């Protein structure tokens, strides 16, 4: 486990709400943006007085962080760097919507240390983009990527979505072909989950969502097709060229410590979990909600198994001083025989088919 700290900064603003989105986000004015940045800076300063750790990842997520100006992003990054000890090679990521990214000054942000961009592409098919409520098109994705690369940022990740209404293998293949043609380092493939309090949930009977079998077929195709392009799977939803794993996201799965700042942001520090409510007012008052102990054996098993590398039993013993109990091995043996888990070099990991049903298997194992 890393001794360094990751920082997540939530920017809760969007131009419009996508029908599938359950993240905390809203429309706001420039005045709201500035007030929120002031609240962020106050909380950054507050936590810097409580934590004495070197920061090696900063992740600016949302919402749509690229709705802010590059000057505002620099202001936030400057607050972090002046408050915390940051390593020389800190991974600094910003999430961006392709439409707003076209007008964002990535060169200015790069000068302040930004070195990784995650673009929410979701699909390269016009009909799927409209269904998802996305405002961009393929040309804007290409323009945004060219702009990012031209200022010297080559670590680019693209998000794709599975389980879109009426999605087919061919339409998914078209999206993957488009993304891989952009010469990026990382691609995330997320299965659409219909969350309560979203437009998709309220109108779920009106949409032709792929069933579980079709979604599984799409997932397996994506994993195998991305491998043909040299994208290695390292986590259930994440694929990259060798050496371009998201260092920040790996913190979540490796039980490394991270600090989340912003409404709805979660943290794990000193064995404790806590979070901010989904409210700008509550966040601005720095009201923290405790969420109990973290880092026990069950949680460690669950998080490690999300990774392609899986759960290394020797490392587990180093952390907890003992191996999992006999009941755990009886259960894993069942899934080994079904071809959903595999055991190599003292490590238990999911097979591709196992990843498809990982939630139910994990619920059984822990």
Query: Which residue is it, tokens 């070197």?
Result: 54
Taking CB atoms within 8 Å and a gap of at least 24, the contacts of 112-115 are 112/73, 112/74, 112/77, 112/78, 113/77, 113/81, 113/86, 114/73, 114/77, 114/153, 115/91, 115/153, 115/155
What does pLDDT average to over the chain? Answer: 94
Q: Is the pLDDT of residue 321 over 70?
A: yes
Question: For residue 196, how many C-alpha atoms fall within 13 Å in the half-sphere facing its CB?
Answer: 0
Q: What is the pTM of this model?
A: 0.94
Structure token pair of residue 59: 């992740």
Nearest to 133 by CA among 119, 143, 123: 123
pLDDT greater than 70 at residue 202:
yes
pLDDT tens readout for residues 73-109: 999 999 999 999 999 999 999 999 999 999 999 999 9
The answer on pLDDT for 319 being more than 80 is: yes
Q: Is the pLDDT of residue 2 over 80?
A: no
User: What is the pLDDT confidence band of residue 17, given thresholds at 50, 70 and 90?
Assistant: confident
pLDDT band at 253 (very low <50, low <70, confident <90, very high): very high
Under 8 Å between Cβ of 317 and 346: no
- Residue 1: pLDDT band (50, 70, 90) is low
On whether the 5-252 domain is CATH 3.40.50.2020, my answer is no
Distance (Å, rounded) from C-alpha 57 to C-alpha 258?
Answer: 9
If you search the block for the tokens 């069933």, which residue do you land on? 211
Between 18-32, 239-253, 261-275, the lowest mean confidence (pLDDT) is in 18-32
Mean pLDDT in residue range 362-366: 91
Q: Where are the domains of the chain?
A: 5-252, 308-366
């Amino acid at each position: 486990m890393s001794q360094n700290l990751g920082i997540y900064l939530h920017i809760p603003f969007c131009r419009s709400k996508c029908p599938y989105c359950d993240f905390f986000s809203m429309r706001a004015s420039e005045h709201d943006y500035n007030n929120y940045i002031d609240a962020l800076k106050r909380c950054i300063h507050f936590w810097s007085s409580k934590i004495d750790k070197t920061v090696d990842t900063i992740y600016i997520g949302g919402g749509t962080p690229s709705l802010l100006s590059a000057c505002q992003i620099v202001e936030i990054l400057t607050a972090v760097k002046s408050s915390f000890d940051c390593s020389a090679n800190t991974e600094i990521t910003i999430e961006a919507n392709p439409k707003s990214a076209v007008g964002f000054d990535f060169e200015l942000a790069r000068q302040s240390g930004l070195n990784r961009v995650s673009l929410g592409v979701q699909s390269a098919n016009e009909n799927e983009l409209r269904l998802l409520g996305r405002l961009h098109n393929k040309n804007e994705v290409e323009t945004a990527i060219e702009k990012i690369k031209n200022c010297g940022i080559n670590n680019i990740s693209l998000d794709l979505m599975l389980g879109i209404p009426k999605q087919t293998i061919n339409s998914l293949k078209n999206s993957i072909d488009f993304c891989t043609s952009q010469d990026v380092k990382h691609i995330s493939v997320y299965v659409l989950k219909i969350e309560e309090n979203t437009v998709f949930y309220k109108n779920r009977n009106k949409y032709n969502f792929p069933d579980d079998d079709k979604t599984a077929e799409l997932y397996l195709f994506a994993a195998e097709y991305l491998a043909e392009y040299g994208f290695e799977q390292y986590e259930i939803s994440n694929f990259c060229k060798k050496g371009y794993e998201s260092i920040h996201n790996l913190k979540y799965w490796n039980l490394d410590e991270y600090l989340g700042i912003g409404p709805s942001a979660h943290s794990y520090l000193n064995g404790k979990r806590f979070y901010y409510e989904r409210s700008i007012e509550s966040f601005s008052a720095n009201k923290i909600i405790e969420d109990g102990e973290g880092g026990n054996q069950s949680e460690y098993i669950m998080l490690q198994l999300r990774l392609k590398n899986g759960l290394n039993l020797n490392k587990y013993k180093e952390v907890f001083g003992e191996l999992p109990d006999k009941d755990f091995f009886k259960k894993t043996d069942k899934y080994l025989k079904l071809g959903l888990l595999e055991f190599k070099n003292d490590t238990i990991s999911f097979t591709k088919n196992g990843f498809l049903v990982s939630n139910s298997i994990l619920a059984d194992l822990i």
